Amino acid sequence: MTRITSLFALLAFTLLQGCAQFGLPTTQRDTSFGPVIGRADDAGTLSWKGVPFARPPVGALRWKAPADPLPWSTPRPATSFASACVQTGRLYSPGASGGYDDTIGSRLGKTVGSEDCLYLNIWAPAGRSATPRPVIVWIYGGSNITGYTADPVYDGAALARSQNAIVVSVPYRVGIFGFLNAAVLKNGNVEDDSGNFALLDIVKGLEFVQRDIANFGGDATRVTLMGESAGAVNIYALLASPMVVARPKPLFHRFVALSGGISTAATLPPGSIPGVLPKTVWAARGEALLLQSLIADGQASDEAGARAIVGTRGPQAVSEYLRALSADALLGTVRTRLAPRGMATSNPIPDGWVVAPDPIAAIRAGRYVKVPVLAGNTRDETKLFPQLLAIRPDLGGVSGRLLDDAAVFAIVSRRDAGTTPATTIEQWIPAAYLPADKPDTGFNARTAELGRIWFGAVRTDVLNALRSQQPNVWFYEFDWDRLPKPYDVIYGAAHSFDLPFVFGNFGPSLYANIMVTRANEPGRLALSAKMMQSIGTFARDGDPNNASLGVAWQPWPSTLLFGADDQRANIRAR
């Protein structure tokens, strides 16, 4: 042990003794790999941030299933978030601080984060509990190409404190680091060969929870797995995963999926947008990454030459070549060479072991983890993605957004709750979609149609499949739209706008800058309290019904509408 390490251990011990002497919460906890020291806040919450749950997936461990972290004996500080998993910066990526800050706009389209990112975070109420608390494990979204646990919207303190629960946020590898089906990387290990490294990261986090959450006051027999957007897609994939179903002991016992689905084209109505694409699509993307990397590296002038190199060197040497490339070089190839070919997306790969070939068919056959399910969508999901109106003539055929991400961030990040947005709807929405409320061709109608064939289709498909097997399936629609003008039309109840309500976080964030006003505060906070209470009740009892709703929440296909005016929540059944 070095002198510096010894001094730190002594300091940590002294601080712990001082906490005990003055009646303050002691924040040292043991994990299976070593002790960690967290922090107590002034509001009555304990937190442990940056807790290792897997070895850094770097070097030879890149594109492999996560391995246990190396053990440690000296108490490890766990008071700050770890780096985001490496990604290309978007509006919902971190800034230079690793969280939400003014530098996000300058990092768009650039490599951010680190491959050394598999560290989870835990929040717990400071007070003692007579019984272990239910556990809520959060999986972020971001189209499976971005996302990070340090997003201030995902801070688990308010949810943990208000619901007397333990909240855990688990990161996972994104983009080509999280999902990659490349023939040269196959090694005969079924998990490695699946290409679903992101899903294996989530499973690794759930294994940590099963082993160690009791040391943080959590009940390992009442674990709720909750994800949104890509996070919901990923947890749906795990719900029907043959690998997860085969386990003798469940990793989770309740399931909350927000704004996601897990359908192949086979189970959707014609014209719908599936979330699960064939393995061949991902195999082509994996090959393109390899060939285009060789070209970008100057080793080949075209794909024919790159294929000749691969054939000459063989899989082992080529896999070592890929693993030796920097993350920035690989993402640069994705940005400049794969994206123009429509190959920059990521999603679960139906390998047959980690992800079922057809998850909906697996659910309908009863081959899934049978637990209570709570699902939700926002009313105006696709107002966050109006660029996609360009994908089909019948949706309008042109992008529904005039501003790029840099311009959006510049406008939105400069506003606070006490000011009126200094922008107009004409700056945002093309004239072809205005007036927004024009029947059939206006912005509202076009985005609603996109939502119907996308989010609506996959939601109905998976919930109908689940309801065919079990009665305990509930669904909500978030329709709060009391945003300041013109954001009430530009965004309305857009995709992910329910998350500040679910977590009780309306502090600095892109969402807050768009939605928060002083006028809407009473109704907004009242609605958030009811949504948190519903999540907490579900995590505790496996049923979201609670007295605060004032109405009975019937199972799917019934819907509970979560809304509010400026003064009070408005909860109603449909």
**How many CA atoms does the CB half-sphere of 292 hold within 13 Å?**
21
Strand partners, 196: 179
pLDDT score of 1 more than 50:
no
Cβ neighbors of 473 (< 8 A, separation 6 or more) are 372, 373, 375, 463, 466, 467, 555, 556
Q: How far is CA 328 from CA 66, 113, 278, 294, 335, in A?
A: 21, 10, 28, 15, 10
pLDDT value, residue 415: 84
CA distance 236 to 240: 7
Whether the model pTM is above 0.75: yes
User: Of all residues in the chain, what percent carry a pLDDT higher than 70?
Assistant: 96
Render 297-308 in DSSP notation, one character per residue: TTS-SSHHHHHH
Tell me the average pLDDT across 197-208: 98
Look up tokens 């719908």; give the residue. Answer: 272
Look at residue 416 in the predicted model and tell me its pLDDT. 80
Q: For residues 509 and 516, what is the distance between their CA atoms, to the nearest angstrom? A: 10
HSE-up of 242 (CA within 13 Å, CB side)? 15
Q: What is the pLDDT of residue 419?
A: 84
Instruction: Identify the CA nearest to 136 among candidates 429, 538, 570.
Output: 538
Measure Cα distances from 264 to 167, 274, 470 in Å.
32, 5, 22
The full set of domain ranges for the chain reads: 3-265, 372-573
Does position 62 have pLDDT exceeding 80, yes or no? yes
| Mean local confidence (pLDDT), 87-93 | 96
Q: What is the mean pLDDT of the chain?
A: 95
Give the C-alpha separation, 170 to 238, whole Å: 14
535 three-class SS: helix
What is the per-residue pLDDT for 25? 57
Mean pLDDT of 408-428: 90
CB 251 within 8 A of CB 207: yes
Q: H/E element holding 223? A: strand 218-228
pLDDT above 80 (res 13): no
Rounded Cα distance, 469 and 235, in Å: 18
Strand partners, 64: none
Classified as helix, coil or strand, 69 is coil
Assign 10 a pLDDT band (cuts: 50, 70, 90). Answer: very low
pLDDT of 249 strictly over 60 = yes
- Say which residue the tokens 């819907």 belong to: 559
What is the Cα 506 distance to its own chain's centre? 18
The helix (run of H) or strand (run of E) holding residue 209 is helix 197-212
Closest CA to 231 of 204, 265, 267, 255: 255
User: If you classify domain 3-265 with CATH, what class do you get?
Assistant: alpha beta
Q: Which of 81, 11, 97 is nearest to 47 (CA)?
A: 81
What's the pLDDT at 17?
A: 39
pLDDT at 417: 75
pLDDT (tens digit per residue) in 344-362: 999 999 999 999 999 999 9
Q: For the stretch 449-483, what's the b/e string if a residue is b when 16 or more beta carbons lie within 10 angstroms of its beta carbon?
A: bbbbbbbbbbbbbbbbbbbeeeebbbbbbbbbbbb
Contacts of 375 (CB under 8 A, 6+ apart): 256, 257, 258, 459, 462, 463, 473, 474, 475, 476, 556
Q: Inform me whether the pLDDT recorded for 18 exceeds 90.
A: no
Residue 414 clears pLDDT 90, i.e. is over it: no
pLDDT of residue 2: 45
